Structure 1
């Protein structure tokens, strides 16, 4: 059984009524991965705007393994202390990680955020020295597009992220940097300039799926 653990912020946890890219990934793997697999993690809920808390189970399609380690407003800073226990308890084999926007927006500069990436990787490996990770760079949002200073921080962090993952990569515990979706459009792939709508969910799932297929031969290219 191959166990995938989605790790992320609001783009990953999703909101009440959404499918989430986690669901899109699960559907893709069901169609293309030849072997048993599941999604694991200590959480299952969606964010509920009515309660301003992760209290909703109202998935657009609830019939899939909804486990994850994602949180609205949480970043590398928040997940680094949680990932060791989550990997150990969930026996996660592959982490699908999309973090960084919240860190840069509210908590840490690019260099500090990269330090938290290192802490996250070290903690995950304490739980499983052979854990694999696929990491998505920060997908620029509307703030990055309209605030030049913030946009520069996102670019600087994504460059640091690539270097950090290359530095920490090990044959027995590979760290794979996914590519940003080339066609991702804030106007058509998000509902508010940050959070993915249905087409955005597909493109985020595709970024992870295509990286794993190209680097590891896992599954097939994402077909949508």
Structure 2
């Protein structure tokens, strides 16, 4: 248990160093190269926190975390054991997910997710699992490192499930497309369809009887029923 806590604390420190280096040098995060920077002390530290972002009396984002640190000088935020839910315009759950560590540059709208990442898009019937992902809020692109493995499962309207796994993952929200750079493998699971049972001729004949058509009738104000006679030409 102590080894797990120590590993998690070390990874959390590395995440903070990476993002601070990225923001202070005004560069995009490269998973292969890093620079050193002095980490400032957090302005606020929250434990077991739950936030809800509300716009026009409608919840847009819910976020909960075991620990959350807020830095004002570089407008950064770090979280441990983060869970989030995004809502659509009608208030229905659109996307929900979780990760062990989260680092966010709110000014640049860059969000870095690390370890045990799980994302479920209910709107697009897609599930993503990975260990390292980056979300660019301005370009609306979700991607991973060149050698990071990502798995995505997409279900079609007919129930067919397509599972794909590979490295160098990239997904665009604009056209709902995604791609892998290499090491791709996948599986296709077709939905089972049941053929409707055919009714036997005997059942069909027994259930349908020839009935003579009835002529429509009218009732006058005195309660007397008068037959409605149709013209011979059908008009």
More helix as a share of residues: 1
Structure showing greater Rg? 2
State TM-score, norm by structure 2. Answer: 0.26
More strand as a share of residues: 2
Higher relative contact order (CA 8 A, sep 6+): 1
